[in-house]
């Protein structure tokens, strides 16, 4: 006969949920104590969300964006994140304490798989202290974790803006407090603040609309890039911590055709090559993260392959060229002697319908590279075509987009003479 077993709860098992509930109650009480006198001033906006839900059921497993007016005004949100269902629940003028007040109606009910929160600037502008803003965010995060334990939460840093320069030190302090809290509590902190500044340390005016407060589409480019790529860019720093990067290297950067070049070091023996490709990226992303991707390493040469994803996403060759020029200008402003080599966009079966736009981008890039002796254009496009003028069928993997070792052999032979010894 089997012995009778008794399920005895360890004291920690009893007190853990009670402790979590107390934390939630304390944080919520703090946030409500800080709340504006009448959070119901947003009732009309919340009712509009509910009417929208009644007319059309929101998607399941949604990625939810919530916050103040920079979220509310993000009209291109669904287009920018077209590969995942997104829901915009920003309401202009709100503070984080308002998000706590309405959390059940604008966040929890959707059971999102991911939440991106961008708020806090209004709180500071209207008199909250950095510590009070942190307390409000703690209350929000605690509620999310209590009600939706599987949901990921990310805080998009409070931005600076030309019209609120008097708040900038408060913004920096608050971002620092929230970033530290996020690091301790497993919440992602997406830092857009440094990307919004120009060389003079002031907000870049092209990132804002006429009111000098809200983002332009160029500003949303920055936010989108940070959301998509911050983790991968920070991973490069983690690699550096494990193995010191070479001095004065040759950095290969760009999209997945660079990232997937696993034989890069072997293909160029004796040269200090570094692979800083990040798959799916566009030229703007390399510009946005140029400081961390390139400039901090003081490379002798940068070899870029990017632009194909841009064309695939609907950007014009002219727009991509503008981003290439911006990347070059940013690198040369910091590293005036650095050579920058641009690899032509490759023909591939997957995007053959876009080949004319790819070739136009290649033509524009080649002409641009002729304007500066520190630039060079590397034409790999032609050698990737067969006698019939179409992509060689045996140089791509099964997705018909990325190259197999035969493709990289072609690239290696063409690129090698351009690399600085």
Task: Check whether 4 has a pLDDT greater than 80.
Answer: no
Task: Check whether 375 has a pLDDT greater than 60.
Answer: yes
Percent composition of the chain: helix, strand, coil (DSSP 3-state, to 5): 55, 15, 35
Give the per-residue pLDDT at 381: 97
Task: Check whether 374 has a pLDDT greater than 90.
Answer: yes
Tokens of 311: 């064309």
Which helix (DSSP H) or strand (DSSP E) does residue 75 occupy?
Answer: none
Give the per-residue pLDDT at 132: 97
What's 335-400 look like in SS3? CCCCEEEEECCCCCHHHHHHHHHHHHHHHHHHHHHCCCCCEEEECCCHHHECCCCCECCCCECCCC
- Residues 117 and 67: beta-carbon distance below 8 Å: yes
Report d(CA 74, CA 185) in Å as an integer.
Answer: 28
Backbone angles phi, psi at 108, to 5 degrees: -60, -45
| pLDDT band, residue 39 (cuts 50/70/90) | confident
Tokens of 112: 């999102």
Residues 379, 382, 387, CA angle at the centre, nearest 5°? 170
| 3-state DSSP assignment of residue 266 | helix
The mean predicted confidence, pLDDT, of the chain is: 92
- Residues 324 and 311: beta-carbon distance below 8 Å: no
Task: Check whether 158 has a pLDDT greater than 80.
Answer: yes
Domains of the chain with bracketed CATH? 16-228 (3.40.50.1110), 245-418 (3.40.50.1110)
- Residues 399 and 352: beta-carbon distance below 8 Å: no
List pLDDT tens digits, range 237-247. 999 999 999 99
Task: Check whether 11 has a pLDDT greater than 50.
Answer: no
What's 153-213 look like in SS3? EEEECCCCCHHHHHHHHHHHHHHHHHHHHHHHHCCEEECCHHHHECCCCCECHHHECCCCC
Listed in sequence order, the residues at least 6 apart from 171 whose beta carbon sits closer than 8 Å to its beta carbon are 120, 121, 124, 158, 159, 160, 164, 193
Task: Check whether 20 has a pLDDT greater than 70.
Answer: no
Task: Check whether 30 has a pLDDT greater than 60.
Answer: no
Nearest of 215, 226, 225 to residue 68 by alpha carbon: 215
Give the per-residue pLDDT at 113: 98
- Residues 103 and 140: beta-carbon distance below 8 Å: yes
Tokens of 355: 């080949």
Q: Average pLDDT for residues 323-351, to the nearest whole number?
A: 97
List pLDDT tens digits, range 264-314. 999 999 999 999 999 899 999 999 999 999 999 999 999 999 999 999 999
Task: Check whether 26 has a pLDDT greater than 70.
Answer: no
List pLDDT tens digits, range 61-120. 999 999 999 999 999 999 999 989 999 999 989 999 999 999 999 999 999 999 999 999
Question: What DSSP character marks residue 415?
Answer: H
Q: Average pLDDT for residues 48-63, to the nearest whole number?
A: 96
């Amino acid at each position: 006969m089997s012995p009778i077993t008794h399920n005895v709860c360890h004291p920690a098992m009893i007190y853990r949920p009670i402790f979590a509930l107390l934390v939630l109650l304390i944080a919520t009480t703090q946030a409500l104590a800080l709340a504006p006198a009448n959070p119901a001033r947003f009732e009309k906006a919340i009712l509009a969300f509910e009417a929208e839900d009644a007319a059309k059921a929101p998607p399941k497993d949604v990625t939810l964006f919530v916050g103040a007016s920079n979220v509310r005004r993000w009209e291109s949100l669904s287009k920018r994140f077209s590969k995942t269902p997104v829901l915009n629940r920003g309401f202009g003028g709100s503070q984080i304490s308002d998000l706590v007040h309405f959390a059940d109606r604008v966040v929890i009910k959707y059971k999102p798989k991911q939440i991106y929160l961008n708020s806090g600037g209004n709180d500071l502008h209207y008199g909250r202290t950095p510590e009070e803003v942190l307390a409000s965010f703690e209350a929000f995060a605690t509620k999310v974790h209590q009600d939706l334990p599987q949901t990921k939460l990310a805080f998009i840093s409070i931005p600076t803006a030309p019209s609120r320069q008097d708040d900038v030190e408060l913004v920096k302090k608050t971002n620092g407090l929230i970033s530290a809290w996020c690091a301790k509590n497993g919440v992602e902190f997406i830092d857009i603040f440094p990307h919004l500044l120009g060389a003079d340390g002031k907000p870049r005016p092209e990132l804002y609309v006429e009111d000098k407060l809200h983002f332009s589409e160029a500003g949303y480019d920055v936010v989108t890039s940070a959301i998509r790529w911050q983790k991968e860019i920070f991973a490069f720093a983690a690699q550096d911590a494990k193995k010191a990067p070479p001095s004065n290297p040759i950095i290969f950067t760009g999209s997945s055709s660079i990232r997937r070049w696993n034989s890069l070091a072997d293909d160029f023996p004796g040269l200090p090559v570094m692979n800083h490709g990040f798959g799916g990226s566009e030229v703007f992303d390399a510009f946005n993260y140029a400081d961390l991707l390139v400039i901090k390493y003081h490379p002798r040469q940068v070899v870029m392959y990017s632009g194909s994803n841009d064309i695939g996403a609907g950007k014009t060759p002219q727009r991509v060229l503008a981003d290439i020029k911006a990347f070059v200008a940013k690198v040369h402003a910091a590293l005036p002697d650095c050579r920058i080599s641009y690899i032509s966009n490759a023909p591939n079966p997957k995007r053959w319908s876009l080949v004319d736009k790819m070739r136009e981008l290649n033509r524009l890039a080649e002409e641009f590279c002729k304007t500066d002796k520190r630039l060079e254009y590397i034409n790999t496009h032609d050698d990737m075509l067969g006698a019939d003028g179409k992509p060689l069928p045996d140089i791509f993997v099964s997705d018909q987009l990325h190259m197999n070792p035969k493709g990289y052999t072609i690239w290696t032979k063409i690129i090698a003479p351009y690399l600085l010894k």
